[in-house]
Amino acid sequence: MTIDPSAWTLGAAMNPIRVTIWNEFIHEKSKPEVQAIYPQGIHVALSDAVERHLGDAVEVCTATLDEPQHGLTDELLEGTDVLTWWGHVAHDRVEDDVVQRVQQRVLEGMGLIVLHSGHASKIFRRLLGTSCMLRWREADERERLWIVDPSHPITEGLQGDYFELPRAEMYGEFFDIPAPDELVLISWFEGGEVFRSGCTFRRGKGKIFYFRPGHEAYPIYHDENVQRVIVNGIRWAVPSGAEYFGTGRNIPQALSPIGKKRRG
Ligand code: ZN
């Protein structure tokens, strides 16, 4: 095996992370109370936050449901290191061939950050293989997010044992997901439920981070801790590692001579 010396430089890590922020972008146009919180859309609020936190280390673009191919063209996906996904009322309007292409890119190494009600998106359910359903309630409850993996890059910079959101929609267990590879945050809600709020998964070469907060009726994506977790998630999900071989390969020619084996 030969190693290209240029691959050893840290140059790759110094290239800007190419982030695409995808948003269904429906509530912000149809509900005045949501528009008041996100006048230009959740995607623009997230985009501003990511740029503010990461500066020159990131190149952000946005895409929304109503654009051709939902904005997720082959060219854009090829040039995306990490895709974030927010959707709620229009999961079934996302075209299956777009879902297929996003899934393929994840298998090839593109990071995927799935936010809040994105748990029910086609792409998340397809990648995880379960219903991804849960209990929910909208009752202005306090949410306390406990840090259960302080060693994880996604919790970097958070202070204390937990952080809180004063008003949130409740999501409760059972959350029908496969056992996460890593669990970094668990939420407790005022009404008594708990929820696995920060979960990581790997599919193919791609890293997936599910992060619960983000109900559109609350200013949750303006919260400093929430932004920090999302930004950390993006940095964690950047493609890394070795060359990926995602298809079966028949290798008729042995690499080394194979000795005669005695049978019986
Ligand atoms: Zn919600």
Summarize pLDDT for 131-140 with one digit per residue, the tens. Answer: 999 999 999 9
User: How far, in Å, are 42, 77, 122, 163 from residue 103 at the CA level?
Assistant: 23, 11, 10, 32
What distance in angstroms lies between residue 111's CA and the mean position of ligand 1's atoms?
23
CA dihedral 58, 59, 62, 63 (to 10 degrees): -110
| Beta strand segments in the chain, E | 17-23, 58-64, 82-86, 111-115, 135-147, 162-172, 182-189, 194-203, 206-211
What distance in angstroms lies between residue 50's CA and the mean position of ligand 1's atoms?
21
User: Which residue is it, tokens 């309007």?
Assistant: 93
What distance in angstroms lies between residue 216's CA and the mean position of ligand 1's atoms?
6
What distance in angstroms lies between residue 231's CA and the mean position of ligand 1's atoms?
20
**Rounded mean pLDDT of 194-207?**
98
Residue 111 has pLDDT above 70, yes or no: yes
**Rounded mean pLDDT of 146-171?**
98
**What 8-state DSSP symbol labels residue 2?**
-
What is the model's pLDDT at position 57? 97
Going along the chain from its start, the domains and CATH numbers come out as 14-128+197-237 (3.40.50.880)
What distance in angstroms lies between residue 29's CA and the mean position of ligand 1's atoms?
16
pTM of the predicted model as reported, rounded to 2 decimal places: 0.93
What is the model's pLDDT at position 109? 98
User: How far, in Å, are 186, 226, 246 from residue 162 at the CA level?
Assistant: 9, 12, 39
What is the model's pLDDT at position 11? 46
Give the contacts of 237 (CB within 8 A, at least 6 positions apart): 82, 111, 112, 113, 206, 207, 208, 209
What distance in angstroms lies between residue 257's CA and the mean position of ligand 1's atoms?
60
Residue 240 has pLDDT above 60, yes or no: yes
The protein residues having their C-beta less than 5 angstroms from ligand 1 (an ion) are 117, 169, 215
Confidence band, pLDDT 50/70/90 cuts, at residue 2: low
Tokens describing residue 255? 């690499």
Residue 95 has pLDDT above 50, yes or no: yes
What distance in angstroms lies between residue 102's CA and the mean position of ligand 1's atoms?
23
How confident is the model over 7-22, as pLDDT tens digits? 555 444 569 999 999 9
Residue 1 has pLDDT above 90, yes or no: no
What is the model's pLDDT at position 262? 79
CA dihedral 72, 77, 198, 29 (to 10 degrees): -20
Other C-beta atoms lying within 10 Å of the C-beta of residue 245 = 8
